[in-house]
Chain A
Amino acid sequence: MTEVLASRSFRGLAAGDAIESVHNDLDSLWLDVPFVQDMDQMTFTTAVIESASNIVQHAEPAGQEPVELGVDIEVRPTLLQARVSAYHAKPPFGPMEPARPGEEAESGRGLALIQALVTTVTFERQDGTNTWVLSRTSQQD
């Protein structure tokens, strides 16, 4: 594994203000690694916010404890990677395949958008935690 050049971690209740905190973390992260191209910053930020929002909107608690959102982001020389987790959550319901919403649909575009934005998306479930791992191979100047 190559060296981690910059990173950010967030963990908190899965609620709207968590999305703003993660977005602020991403904005400050890019200031630490100005060599990451604008296109990579833009696409990766969008994918991370989409995934985190998906958890806030859809993850259901498995028991008494509320769902927590965790976002761990690492920047390596040619790789951007985020682990976006739902703690204390039930396994996702139904197939995790992108929907094909009609033109007038107001939701259902998130998963397809995430897949279009990053190089790979994988899902893991371990110890009651759902984790999406988003990776984007970044361009170098």
Chain B
Amino acid sequence: MNAIHCENVTKRYPHFDLKDVDLTLPEGSVMGFVGPNGAGKSTTLRIIMGLVHQDAGRVTVLGHDMPAGQVAAKWNIGFVSEDMRLYGHRTIGFHLDFLRRIYPGWDDGYAAELLSRFELNPDQKVKGLSHGQRVKAALLTVFARKPKLLVFDEPTTGLDPVARKVILEEMMRVMEAEDRSILFSSHNTLDVEQISDHITFINQGSIVASDDKETFLDSWRRLRLVVGDRYRLPDMSGLIEVQRSGHQIVLTLAGYSDALQEKLTASGAAINEVQRLTLEEIFIASVESSRQPPHAAAAGSAPSMEGAAA
């Protein structure tokens, strides 16, 4: 069963369009939703939460169609976004009391445990908290509900490394319950790489790539070749970027395999280095490739080296 399933979701704004977004989060998994600022991450998450209604397409969350089924779905969703604030003039305890009365599954013991682990004082007013403490307080308010699905919109933005570590550790702890799922948007690929098992890249309102983390990391490579003067690359799929400087060529590939390496060798290229890419490099390459016009996006075809960027 899928915790989230989006199919051809479209939302039009005067200066931005979310275009045919397909996204599937299997139950029990963590998806990192990565994109630059203004890519459409928050819009997608708000559509998933039923807070923004899509113009077209279908969204199902925990088996409920959104936005029509948002009340039933939201009983089991914990949502925290970067722009979400608790009531500044009220204490953390005020919020916990408020939520305890709403959620029958509210876990007081776990809330107390989190207060201690996050070093939060329930009698402290929210306006006196640091940014890190505010994020921790917001996360506490969703973790103690024990929701099946957690939707986080850049929760770690602006946090110091220590606070980030504590929060990411807590997210991983939450995932010990096997039926829990997390959709986690960020532009911090380090955080995403740490806790996600699925990754989706979004740019300019479109999904650029979506796969499980291991497949991403295993299939992307950067190859350094040494070639002759009149060398032409053979046709190959998954070619993302080509850079040439004299007799040296640097290829960025999605869908790398040993067969591809043999094909390049057979074409007359000497392979000097095969390098794995970090998630950040994969993300940047995916985004840059998606920004190029179709004829320049090399994936699926091999551009001539005579015109390739130096």
B partners with A: no
Point out residues on B near A: beta carbons under 8 Å. Answer: none
Point out residues on A near B: beta carbons under 8 Å. Answer: none
